[in-house]
Amino acid sequence: MKVELTEENFNETLNAAPLVLVHFTSDFCGPCKIMKRALNALEEKYTSRLALAEVKAMDHPDWATAFAIQSTPTVLLFHKGKYQSRLTGAHTNQIIEEWIKEATA
């Protein structure tokens, strides 16, 4: 279930599933669209274990600063509500899955 992250649902969303991917994106970013498709496919594959949240970096510059987002797409991985790792740029499903496994091992 992809949700748009807001101040009101931030903590609830980060604890919505064992794994939460927070996708920092931009409207006019080609690699962001590629990454969005890959993340949506992974969310469908791991429905019970993975939640996907989206943040438009331009709409939330305070969050982009707080999480040191320097470019989009950037995905932050939260495991059991705690920040674990980040992945920047567009990647294949296989690379994303390997990144998740390494970050949560």
Q: Report the catalytic residues.
A: 29, 32
Tokens of residue 99, six digits: 């990144």
- What gap in Å lies between CA 57 and CA 66, rounded to an integer? 11
Alpha helices in the chain (DSSP H): 10-14, 30-45, 61-66, 93-104
Q: What is the dihedral of CA 49, 12, 70, 31, to 10 degrees?
A: 50
